[in-house]
Amino acid sequence: MNAKLLKIIILNRWSALIHDFLWIPCVLILSYWIRFNFESIPETHRPSLLWLILLAIPLQAALFWRFGLYRGLWRFASIPDLVRIVKAACMGTLLLVTCSAITTRLDGVPRSIFVLYPLLLITGLSLSRISYRWYKDRRLTIRTASGQRTIIVGAGRAGEMLVRDLKYREDYQPVALIDDNEKLHNREIHGVPVAGSIEKLGEIARSLNGELILIAIPSANKMLLRQIVDQCALINIPYKILPSVSEIAEGQVNVEKLRHVTVEDLLGREVVDMDKRAIAAYLAGKVIVVTGAGGSIGSELCRQLSALQPERLIIFENSEFNLYTIDSELRGSFPELSIDSVLGDVKDIDRINWVFATFSPDVVFHAAAYKHVPMLEANPAEGVRNNVLGTKVVADAADRYKVKYFVFISTDKAVNPTNIMGATKRIAELYCQNFNKFSETRFITTRFGNVLGSAGSVVPLFQKQIDKGGPVTVTHPQITRYFMTIPEAVMLILQAGAMGEGGEIFVLDMGKPVLISDLAKQMIQLSGLVVGEDIDIIFTGLRPGEKLFEELLHDGETLQDTAHGKLFLASSRQVEWSLLKEQIEALRSAACSRDVEKMTSIIHEIVPEFRR
């Protein structure tokens, strides 16, 4: 804490303490004066008055301190401060009566004094504090009249707390609240009127010359949030938002909690509750391996798994920097957790066998993969070796060392693939799904689309282009993609593992596909810029292997509902196990010799729906 600020706080406490001490004799003298009808106090009662003053000062002062009258600041005096004063005054009166009765048998003390004393003491101490707050609030109102004219959307608990906080800020002048609750319309909260409903936000903002809009609805769904953001964009007024309920620690709401609206706020979806008991049942107290632990999905898996109190977490990663980054984060956030960071490649059979032999894992989450479509189109053999052969190495080890659960993270690009990345992930799906019939390990596959903010995804690419001043490049005007947040995807992966019996392909509910050109426009608007004026959007044409739209099901697959509203089962085709192993072995040979033509031919045999 700043030394000057600390000095001021200490000085204010001593000032308050002296003020309260002075009130004690004043209140006792006033009580006697009232008792004797505002005439002089008889000489026969003056000794008792003096005795009560000498007794009350140390007793009452100790109680003032004990009940915390000096924890808060007078500037923010409120009901809790009044309660503390009442408790201290009542307890002081009780002790005063008891001590006087023991020492003087209440000789010469009018009994009405013990009624008047607490009432006058409570009134004096409370009025001083309330008057000081009123004075400060009045001065603040005058001083902040030149602050940013601010409109708060949401007149609930969060909005009320935000208005209260803004009242003490020089940079903000709250002029109105907006809420759809008609019962609140034309009423005031801390002197700020509730001006109308959200649909009239633009009209109200213009009429009040609004300069800033603050969204204070932590429980707002995405549709409502998009409606508010669209209106803010139309009237060209900057806006900020309070985080969601889960992000606000301890229910505290103030200006410091405000942040800019992100694309995750608009595209992320409401997450249904997870079956935490089922998830904990197969993960808590277990030894868990996460491959690709430094990637977007892998690192979030590690975070959520660490919170479930496993016995040991082995984080396996090929990138030294990524491994170091997630290792440092986990050790800082979960100091009690046993963590082993293993640098290695999933294609390295000896390294994988060493990990499984050394740690005897109960559960494996296989997130390691090459996923960048154009990069794998240029390097198809490496895609095959990592995504197919690497998965086979880890799956074989899981079977050999009798791992109970093997959860494979796949992608919607594996459906009717048009690129090497999708085709290799589809082969890995087939291997895990069919291996389940011959293994004691439960092989479970999860399939989902793009995650917001993952490495190499379109969102960080757009943000970099916006930061540089544009243009923002979109491959095609009609291209669409599914999106979900990384934490939501990982929660559903964990849920699928809890539900899986082995051999299933769980398809995650991705919601509605998003038009990428609309996403680009939203991100430009969220940056406070205008499309076509500040930043242009240009279309560059589809890249090699890129589809206009992604699919979550192959031809012939059907979705079955599960007990969880956001997880579905895909009834995928079965293959001949011995033939699949022969084909993968031939694929290995072609990939190692970099025979791309032969490799592509084998991929077509395994994945007939592959179109390249």
pLDDT higher than 70, residue 126: yes
119 occurs within a structural domain: yes
Please state the φ and ψ torsions of residue 130, each to the nearest 5 degrees: -65, -40
Are 132 and 97 part of one and the same domain?
yes
Mean pLDDT of 334-358: 96
> What are the pLDDT digits (tens) for 507-565?
877 667 778 888 888 788 777 777 877 888 988 887 776 667 665 554 555 656 566 65
Query: Contact, 279 vs 498, CB < 8 A?
Result: yes
Helix (H, G, I), strand (E, B), or coil: what is residue 452?
A: strand
Are 198 and 75 part of one and the same domain?
no
Rounded to two decimals, the pTM is 0.64
545 occurs within a structural domain: no
Residue 598 — very low, low, confident or very high, per pLDDT cuts 50/70/90?
A: very high
If you write DSSP's letter for every residue of 130-191 in order, what string do you get? HHHHHHHHHHHHHHGGGSEEEEEE--SHHHHHHHHHHTT-TTEEEEEEE-S-GGGTT-EETT
If you write DSSP's letter for every residue of 246-311 in order, what string do you get? TTSGGG---GGG-B---HHHHH--PPPPP-HHHHHHHHTT-EEEEETTTSHHHHHHHHHHHTT--S
Are 293 and 403 part of one and the same domain?
yes
Cis peptide before 80 (omega within 30 of 0): no
Are 131 and 160 part of one and the same domain?
no
More confident residue, 459 or 26: 26
Are 237 and 315 part of one and the same domain?
no
Are 81 and 43 part of one and the same domain?
yes
266 occurs within a structural domain: no
Residue 246 — very low, low, confident or very high, per pLDDT cuts 50/70/90?
A: very low
Residue 222 designated active-site: no
465 occurs within a structural domain: no
User: Would you state the pLDDT for residue 166?
Assistant: 80
Neighbours of 148 (CB within 10 A): 17
> What are the pLDDT digits (tens) for 386-400?
999 999 999 999 999
User: Would you state the pLDDT for residue 555?
Assistant: 52
- Residue in this structure with the two tokens 């603040």, named with its chain if needed: 140
Domain boundary among 93, 118, 141: 141
Domain boundary among 96, 124, 141: 141
> What are the pLDDT digits (tens) for 196-221?
888 888 888 888 888 888 888 877 77
Query: Contact, 289 vs 365, CB < 8 A?
Result: yes
Compute CA distances 513 → 419, 485, 524, 552, whole Å.
Answer: 20, 14, 19, 11
Query: Contact, 340 vs 359, CB < 8 A?
Result: yes
Picking from 504, 483, 509, 495, the residue whose alpha carbon sits closest to that of residue 557 is 504
Outline where DSSP puts E strands in 410-566: 442-447, 450-452, 472-474, 480-481, 483-485, 505-508, 514-515, 537-539, 559-561
Catalytic-labelled residue, pool 257, 286, 347, 413:
413
Are 56 and 159 part of one and the same domain?
no
Are 96 and 158 part of one and the same domain?
no
> What are the pLDDT digits (tens) for 350-408?
999 999 999 999 999 999 999 888 899 999 999 999 999 999 999 999 999 999 999 99
Query: Contact, 216 vs 159, CB < 8 A?
Result: yes
Helix (H, G, I), strand (E, B), or coil: what is residue 538?
A: strand
> What are the pLDDT digits (tens) for 453-489?
555 567 778 888 888 888 888 888 888 776 677 888 8
**CATH number of the domain where residue 241 is located:** 3.40.50.720
Are 111 and 129 part of one and the same domain?
yes
Six token digits for residue 465: 């282009």
Are 15 and 157 part of one and the same domain?
no
Domain count within the chain:
3
Share of the chain above pLDDT 70, in %: 83
Are 173 and 222 part of one and the same domain?
yes
User: Would you state the pLDDT for residue 397?
Assistant: 97
473 occurs within a structural domain: no
Structural domain span for residue 436: 276-449+483-510+551-606
371 occurs within a structural domain: yes
Strands 172-178 and 192-196 come out as parallel
Q: H-type helices in 439-512, by residue range?
A: 458-467, 486-499
Domain boundary among 115, 141, 167: 141
338 occurs within a structural domain: yes
Are 124 and 154 part of one and the same domain?
no
114 occurs within a structural domain: yes
Burial code of 354-363, b = ≥16 C-beta within 10 A, e = fewer?
ebbeebebbb
